[in-house]
Amino acid sequence: MSAPWILRSLCLFLFIFSFTNAQATSILEFNGVLEAHFARENQISKEQWEDALPTEYERTEAVGLVNYLMSLLTFSNVTHSSVLSLFPRLRNFVNITFFEDKYAVVHEILRDDADNRSLQPFSRYWGYVVITGRKYATKPYLHHSSPHFESDGDVGNQSAAIFEATASRSLVVAGASRYAVRDNNATNPCAKNYAVADAAHNNLTMFHTFNTAIFKVSKVIEATTVLPDDIFLQWHGMSERSCIASPVLISIGAKGTDEVYNDPNLTANKLKLAYGNGAHNPMEDPSCNLAATTNIFGRLINGVPEDEVCLHSAAEDDIKGQFLHLEQKRQARDDHLSWIKATQKAFRES
């Protein structure tokens, strides 16, 4: 065992011990606590992954739980036990941590014992979802997600920081590296060309369930309010060797040849302009193939029926820009402040 590995493990142990004995004070800090228990590359078997996937009943309850939490103005008069009593199939595996009465974080159970401090992954690899109470979400139409823990760099912390600083409505973070399953024979039933634990391409994960539930609630809210259409920002990291002309590529699940990118009022173009720093859309960088046309949550937002997202791409006429797919190299991923400012500037509506 190498000395750097021992030092890293000791630092991580102290980090987790401090936060399990003194509650984190922000979503960004809590993300660090939870990520320490996410499944890392080559850490689990195919059987472990399949056994941990949410059942149909658990997915149904997760949708109900998200619906319930999003209906609340604040979380001042609820407790995790009172809420989870309504969802008996989930309560053995998840807890809800409330930050004052502002945020509700649904996550797997953290135990203040030796098992917790050993830094073993959570048993279900579900990740977590954060809902902001309606009273506090000053940008209630903005939603964030991060499907690729660790394999895309530090996008979990980035998405948590931007979500929190922009007073957005929701955040969903996947609980496993896309390469967490070490069995090369494990196939993704939704997209055979992608790793089985790739949350952006597997519709059986809790990550996809949480996102789908939030999207469905947003459609109901859109139909009954005068707020802007909801925008779903999904944060990714790309290799330094990818897309040489673009340190950042902002797409909407449409190919670079699609005319939609010519619209100056397109969400991707508004955010691109606000961020600057060499950001492009796929039409401006046709050599980059990271336009998210196979992203299943993007397909859902872009009009593909829920039961067909693994099979069909979105039709060009149905893509309006509500889904934003952000590919970034490391310098951009680490620059939280510039993204916070750009998000606030691009989406000023209230």
User: 254: how many CB neighbours lie within 10 A of its CB?
Assistant: 30
Q: Is the pLDDT of residue 112 over 90?
A: no
- The mean pLDDT of 12-33, rounded to a whole number, is 67
4 or 121: whose pLDDT is higher?
Answer: 121
- The mean pLDDT of 57-62, rounded to a whole number, is 98
pTM higher than 0.85: yes
pLDDT tens digits along 210-260: 999 999 999 998 888 877 899 999 999 999 999 999 999 999 999 999 999
Q: How confident is the model at residue 13, as a pLDDT?
A: 42
The position carrying tokens 């673009």 is 246
Are residues 217 and 62 in contact, defined by beta-carbon separation less than 8 angstroms? no
Token couple for 133? 């109470």
Say which amino acid occupies 159: S
Q: How confident is the model at residue 222, as a pLDDT?
A: 81
Token couple for 304? 């593909």
pLDDT tens digits along 128-145: 999 999 999 999 999 999
Confidence of residue 22 (pLDDT cuts 50, 70, 90): very low
Distance CA 49, CA 201 (A): 15
Say which amino acid occupies 76: S
Give Cα 339 distance to the centre of its chain.
Answer: 16
Ranges of each domain in the chain:
24-144+160-194+208-229, 236-349
For the chain, what is the mean pLDDT? 92
CA quadruple 136, 138, 141, 145: dihedral positive or negative?
negative
